Amino acid sequence: MSIKLAVLVSGRGSNLEAILKAIQEGRLDAAVEVVLSNNPGALALEIARKYGVPAVVVESKRLSRQEHEERLLECLDRFSVEYVVLAGYMRVLTPHFLQRFRDRRGYYRVINIHPSLLPAFPGKSAYEDAFAHGVRLSGITVHLVDDLVDHGPILAQEAFPRLDDDTLEAFKERGLAVEHRLYPAVLEAIARTGINLLPRASSQEVLSK
């Protein structure tokens, strides 16, 4: 079943473009109803316009977090949106915003892509942190957003290697290629079968079984 998305962006927009391209090529049964950015200079806005998608700036400057989220929600109310997709959106969303997208099971229909194998290397500079740590293997995680940063239930992960002679740039480029394939594929899986998660339990619960 086709799903209706809002994509939130702050910058370059390469994941947004991968999603729009997958829709255009029939690999993803979805529609991007609106692209929202907190940054008026985001290149992602140009990409949205190129694909004929409404692109709206909701600036965060001089607003409290709650006021900004209220404005985002007011804007989203004008569209029919089933899932919010974060694609390089550089602001943390609070429960105030997330509650609006709560499903019957208590999950938020808000999805994020993060460039590490979570729970390793959360935060804004995951590529740099993994590279600096000297990992041999890193990866990409697509997950549901919860009340903590880079933390919610994992939808999909795909690993990629750090090769001996990699520069940071080469390492990032390998990861981005994975991002651009994985994000549309996960959204397509949601369009087909909804949100599928592995059961989550504390290690105590697992040990006592």
Residues belonging to the active site: 114
**Closest C-alpha among 9, 206, 10, 3 to residue 103:** 3
Report if residue 113 touches ligand GRF, rule: CB under 6 A.
yes
Give the total residue count for the chain. 209
**Closest C-alpha among 178, 194, 6, 192 to residue 85:** 6
Residues numbered 160-199 forming contacts with ligand GRF, rule: CB under 6 A? 179
Q: In whole angstroms, how close is the CB of 10 to ligand GRF at the nearest point?
A: 7
**Other CB atoms closer than 10 Å to residue 90's CB: what's the count?**
15
Applying CB under 6 A, the site for ligand GRF has a residue count of: 12
Report if residue 87 touches ligand GRF, rule: CB under 6 A.
yes
Report if residue 68 touches ligand GRF, rule: CB under 6 A.
no
For ligand GRF, the nearest residue by Cβ is 88
Candidates 10-18, 24-32, 67-75, 103-111; binding stretch for ligand GRF (CB under 6 A): 10-18
Kindly give the interhelix angle for 14-24 and 168-193, rounded to the nearest 10 degrees. 40
Say how far residue 143 (Cα) sits from the centre of its chain.
7
Rg (CA), the chain: 17
Report if residue 15 touches ligand GRF, rule: CB under 6 A.
yes
Report if residue 150 touches ligand GRF, rule: CB under 6 A.
no
**Interacting residues with ligand GRF (CB under 6 A):** 11-15, 44, 87-88, 113-115, 179
